[in-house]
Structure 1
Amino acid sequence: MQVRGRRLSTGALAVVGVVTLLLSACGNPAGTDGDLTNNWKALPDAKIPTPASGACYSITTDNPASVTKWPAPVECTASHTVETVYVGQFTGEEAGQSSAPSTGSKGRRTAYETCAAEAKTFLGDDWRNGRLELSVVLPIALHWQGGARWFRCDMMEYLDLDDYAVVTRTASLKGGLTGEKPVALGCITVTTGANNRIDKMTPAKCDTNHNGEYVGVYDLPDGPYPTDRAAASKARLDGCAPVVAAYAGVPNDADLSFRVGWISSPFTEIEWGLGNRGVRCYAHSADPLNKSIKGIGPAGLPAD
């Protein structure tokens, strides 16, 4: 296809020439040098804002790390479900990557370890000792490409670790595992079903009838995620035995299982890939209890 241009007439050319002469005669306006920006400084590059530490959010999902569009933060005295306890930055090799570090990568594990340490400082103890969830939130792909290199450490509280109903709070979690430890795991009621399998583990007051109690965390050795279910179950139960014994103040010997039973509750494969190889350990009694077994000693838990 041939494109035809417009030809200016002789008269039109004359007019153009007159306009050019007039503009040349006017010169530059006062205070300018003829440069379009008049030596104005260039605007800075747009940057993705870094989230604020100590902010709270009202999120309805039970997985903060999956949220791609966050609402504006609110005061932690207002209704909320998520609290940011720390904000860090990826540096070095991880910061130079084309995408955020993936689960299982060195950078992601380092971020998770940082979050766990900061959460411990914030709460006053290992977050795994509470009815809590720690999430490492990263920038979405678009923000990472725009230069964002932060990672956010978020905490949520659950009503229990059975149904995982998220608690709507109106106060900060700061110090929640110190003093009276309002968000700590404690005594529980264990109900079982067919084949003596555990159906539910619900919180109970230690001075009321119950049959179980949280005693602490055991960390499995580092390595690949265990896929042999029988071997993994044995390793978890074996690991919880000394935790139960130390908590109750009884010997970790052949008589331990005649004094009290115990339950192991591992974290997920995803969390294993992040570096959390923990197992929550619970004492489980065949007889009703009406007080804590912490430090109860051999007399309080006789080997029947």
Structure 2
Amino acid sequence: MRRQVTAAVTAAFVMVVVAGCGTPAGTDGDLSDDWRPMAQAQQFAPEAGECHVIADPTAYLTSYAPVDCAKTHLVETFHVGTFTGALAARTTPPPVESATMRSTFADCDTRAKQFVGGDWRTARLSVQVAPTSPAGWKGGARWYRCDIFELDEVNGPNGESDAAIQRTDSLRGALASRSPLTLGCMNEDKWGMLRTAGCTAGHQFEFVGIWTAPDRSWADAARDEAAIHTACRAVIARYAKVPVDGKLPYRTGTAYRFPSRPLWERGDRGVRCYYWSSGTTVKRSIAGGGTAVLPIR
């Protein structure tokens, strides 16, 4: 009896299915042309104008959490570029601190000057390249971020450190006019750090500009102190508008701050040069002062 009931149910089912095989009104019976094409897969990429609370120069998706630049952050992305040519053909992203990244850093360097409205090295700022993560690279991503960030007043460019500090505003146009970030007159504290001082107050140091060092190893370049002082002396002369001649060493002392090793390896060759009064207290800027402010001593 059970077998007969099953057969009857099966027969009824077959009848329903067969009845449903007709073409419904308003259709052509071809389902293959009614599906919408699937959207093309999109590779993740950050955007310029984003700020980040993580300063790591390798952009992992797992740590991607951009914030409004008006909120507390460490670094600001001002440009997103694309690796091309031999760099894009690599099987892994270029190491951040390597010669292969120099051309990319140079691109970020140029764009950073445009972004802030001046040479970022003349202020308490630094720049880094943040390439996509190894996993992202394996998946086909070839982008890199250009990030800019503020340095600490004491342990920043004057203390040869390159660590980002928290800030709560965008750096766009920050150097288009005089800024609290801009390097100027200074005094040395008991730990050898240069601290900001008013130029009309008593001070012994003044930032005068950047000298671009030759492209060689950090150790070799940093060791050549005599050449650096000579180069910075010429920067002082241009700043103060005095002759670059044999009398110049008798007009001014010099000091400098070399790029940190990580920054040097990223591609920066900018040495920050300072006028040094040789211990005499000065109460004015030497900018454009000529031989009157830098007499022979």
1:40 is matched with which residue? 35
Counterpart CA distance in 2 for 1:19 and 1:127 is 78
1:251 is matched with which residue? 243
Does the CA-based 8 Å contact 1:192-1:200 persist in structure 2? yes
1:49 is matched with which residue? 44
Share of identical aligned residues, percent? 33
Count of matched residue pairs: 284
Residue 134 (structure 1) aligned with residue 134 (structure 2): no
Per-residue deviation, residues 25-62 of structure 1 (Å, max 9, x unmatched): 53277447475x66424423432322111122233xxx
Per-residue deviation, residues 53-91 of structure 1 (Å, max 9, x unmatched): 1122233xxx43156444532322223232111111112
Change (3 A) 1:116 1:164: closer
2:3 is matched with which residue? none
Residue 233 (structure 1) aligned with residue 231 (structure 2): no
Residue 178 (structure 1) aligned with residue 173 (structure 2): no
Equivalent residue of 2:107, what SS? helix
Does the CA-based 8 Å contact 1:56-1:80 persist in structure 2? yes
Q: Residue type matched to 2:126 in 1?
A: E
Counterpart CA distance in 2 for 1:280 and 1:54 is 28
Following TM superposition, by how much is the alpha carbon of 1:270 offset from its aligned partner in structure 2, in angstroms? 3.8
Task: Kindly report the root-mean-square deviation, in angstroms, between the aligned alpha carbons of the 2 structures.
Answer: 3.1
Q: 2:56 aligns with which of 64, 87, 104?
A: 64
Residue 264 (structure 1) aligned with residue 256 (structure 2): yes
Residue 145 (structure 1) aligned with residue 138 (structure 2): yes
Q: Residue type matched to 1:146 in 2?
A: G
Does the CA-based 8 Å contact 2:233-2:252 persist in structure 1? no
Which residues of 2 match residues 215-234 of structure 1 at below 5 A?
215-222=208-215, 224-228=216-220, 231-234=223-226
Change (3 A) 1:215 1:17: farther
Counterpart CA distance in 1 for 2:102 and 2:230 is 26
Change (3 A) 1:144 1:228: closer
Does the CA-based 8 Å contact 1:138-1:150 persist in structure 2? yes
Counterpart CA distance in 2 for 1:226 and 1:172 is 31
Change (3 A) 1:51 1:22: same
Counterpart CA distance in 2 for 1:105 and 1:84 is 22
Equivalent residue of 1:122, what SS? helix
Change (3 A) 1:45 1:144: farther
Counterpart CA distance in 1 for 2:234 and 2:47 is 41
Following TM superposition, by how much is the alpha carbon of 1:207 offset from its aligned partner in structure 2, in angstroms? 2.2
Q: 1:297 aligns with which of 287, 290, 296?
A: 290
Change (3 A) 1:65 1:114: same
Does the CA-based 8 Å contact 1:85-1:154 persist in structure 2? yes
Q: Which runs of 5+ in 1 are unaligned?
A: 1-11, 194-198
Counterpart CA distance in 2 for 1:230 and 1:64 is 26
Change (3 A) 1:141 1:132: same
Counterpart CA distance in 2 for 1:20 and 1:232 is 93
Which residues of 2 match residues 171-210 of structure 1 at below 5 A?
171-191=169-189, 199-210=192-203
Does the CA-based 8 Å contact 2:59-2:131 persist in structure 1? no
Change (3 A) 1:105 1:292: same
Following TM superposition, by how much is the alpha carbon of 1:140 offset from its aligned partner in structure 2, in angstroms? 0.7
Following TM superposition, by how much is the alpha carbon of 1:117 offset from its aligned partner in structure 2, in angstroms? 0.7
2:98 is matched with which residue? 104
Residue 284 (structure 1) aligned with residue 276 (structure 2): yes
Does the CA-based 8 Å contact 2:126-2:162 persist in structure 1? no
Counterpart CA distance in 1 for 2:255 and 2:11 is 94
Does the CA-based 8 Å contact 1:225-1:269 persist in structure 2? no
